[in-house]
Amino acid sequence: MVDISSQVNAFASLLTQQIARAQALENTVLTDFSARPLRIAIAGGDGIGPIITRQAEKVLRHLLQDAINAGQITLVPIEGLTLENRLARQESVPSDTLEAIRSCPVFLKGPTTTPGGGTMTSANVTLRKELDLYANVRPVSVPAENIDWVFFRENTEGEYTLGSQGIAIADTLAMDFKVITTAGTRRIAKAAFEYAHAHGNCRVTIVTKANIMKKTDGLFSEICHDVAKDYPDIPVDEYYVDIMAANLVNPAIRSDFHVILTPNLYGDILTDEAAQIQGGVGTAGSANTGSQYAMFEAIHGSAPRLIEQGLGDYADPESILRATVMLLDHIGETDRASALRQVLDILHAEGIHPAPGEMTTEEYGDCVIKRLQ
């Protein structure tokens, strides 16, 4: 007979913590990201991270030169987010590094490596929780195929909330937990519908697996449809995640989708699929936004194989530069964001990317700045 009392007590503790977290979501203080002075943290991360992030910082310094010189914007280097430091400290985000990041409302982050095995969680998951970055926003655009998608992925709940705190009974079973809260769902749904309203009342598609995950996905679906009642001019539909994955590669209907609203795990998977349709995960940026902080990053990882093969200096920085566009938009620098977006679109259309024997990552960054002038 398996003694489950310790596991039951552990679950009770988790349940108490999550109820307290859900209640705390009701009280938030809003940051004005367009206010000046503004501090922007920048961390290179691991693998190709420092190589591509260097180009994003270079472009930011070029575009924001006047504000930087006037002391209205400060770019703050964050040194402690390297894999070596995190392993040495045995912390996914070391406490002093987290405090340095907290001193900056805006954060441009290079890819970070999550060690396999052990108990160290992803730095991204930790940052999303600690900074309460509840909205993961990922645009995907393929003008030639009339694709214009913006994914609103809930970023702090779902399977990722307690991903390393499940239950394992040796030689018998393992269980992980999925958490959906009313307040957490309501705020991501409101963000998606507000975006749709601001962009001409475009269609919102809710993605769940509510036919199977009846409690969690069922609540997500219910709350999203309740929020939709406040936006009667916005068309709304819902698909299960498996058929939605098929819809994205169906040329007959995929151009009908615009704003796609998902829980955490489904959004993680669907946005990689969507980025591949756009041209690969190296072409897509990502915003992680909350009430007080905003973090911007490439959607891909640290690509250790490129480093191992000696090809790091040819890593494509387009994804993190797309994230830089989103950062500029978020802090109110919309004209500069539009200028950078246009340059990246042109270079992408012309097939200009770093490649051995053709262009290095550094040269690509220089090319972007030259086109901006």
Can you give the pLDDT at residue 1?
Answer: 66
Can you give the pLDDT at residue 120?
Answer: 81
25-43 pLDDT, tens per residue? Answer: 877 778 999 999 999 999 9
- 10 Å CB burial of residue 60 (0-12, 13-18, 19+) is buried
Q: In degrees, to the nearest 5, what angle opens at C-alpha 290 toward C-alphas 288 and 296?
A: 25
Q: Name the band, by pLDDT with cuts 50, 70 and 90, for residue 164.
A: confident
Span 336-345, average pLDDT: 96
* Domains assigned to the chain: 35-133+290-373 (3.40.718.10), 144-284 (3.40.718.10)
**Tokens of residue 313, six digits:** 């200096």
| H and E: helices and strands count for the chain | 14, 12
Residue pair 92/120 in contact (Cβ under 8 Å)? The answer is yes
Q: What percent of the chain has pLDDT over 70?
A: 100
Q: What percent of the chain has pLDDT over 90?
A: 83
Q: Residue 158 gets which letter from DSSP? A: B
CA distance 138 to 218: 24
225-260 pLDDT, tens per residue? Answer: 999 999 999 999 999 999 999 999 999 999 999 999
182-218 pLDDT, tens per residue? Answer: 999 999 999 999 999 999 999 999 999 999 999 999 9
329 has pLDDT over 80: yes
- 10 Å CB burial of residue 372 (0-12, 13-18, 19+) is middle
**Helix spans in 302-333 (H):** 304-308, 318-330
118 has pLDDT over 90: no
